[in-house]
Amino acid sequence: MLVDKTLVCKECGAEFVFTVGEQEFYQRKGLLHDPARCPACRAERRRARSGEGGFAPSARTMYPAVCAACGQETEVPFQPRLGRPVYCSSCYASLRQG
């Protein structure tokens, strides 16, 4: 039987409640560990990772490449490797759709 748990955030040190509903959600998703951060710190971490909160997504390094499907010059957010195909955004979208 599940009961509410009081946990301590490893980021800010604040106590927070890990409710029965949240525990059930974690179980349904197959998550094995209790959250280590409070909801506020988790939200802040998501904002920082998504590019909000001071880190501009445009600061990402882009690399020139030639699309393996259509031959168009494009830029990709990873260093292309020799022998591996690289696609422009429209060809990549077409490939993903099947």
- Alpha carbons 37 and 35: distance in angstroms, whole number: 6
> For residue range 2-28, what is the model confidence (pLDDT) as tens digits?
899 999 999 999 999 999 999 999 999
Q: What's the rounded Cα separation, in Å, for the pair 90 and 80?
A: 17
- Rg, the chain, Cα only: 21
**Residue 56 pLDDT class (50, 70, 90 cuts):** low
pTM of this prediction?
Answer: 0.49
User: What number is the average pLDDT over the span 70-86?
Assistant: 92
Assess whether pLDDT exceeds 80 at residue 69.
Answer: yes
3-class SS of residue 43: helix
Instruction: Write the pLDDT tens digit of every residue in 21-52.
Output: 999 999 999 999 999 999 999 999 988 888 66
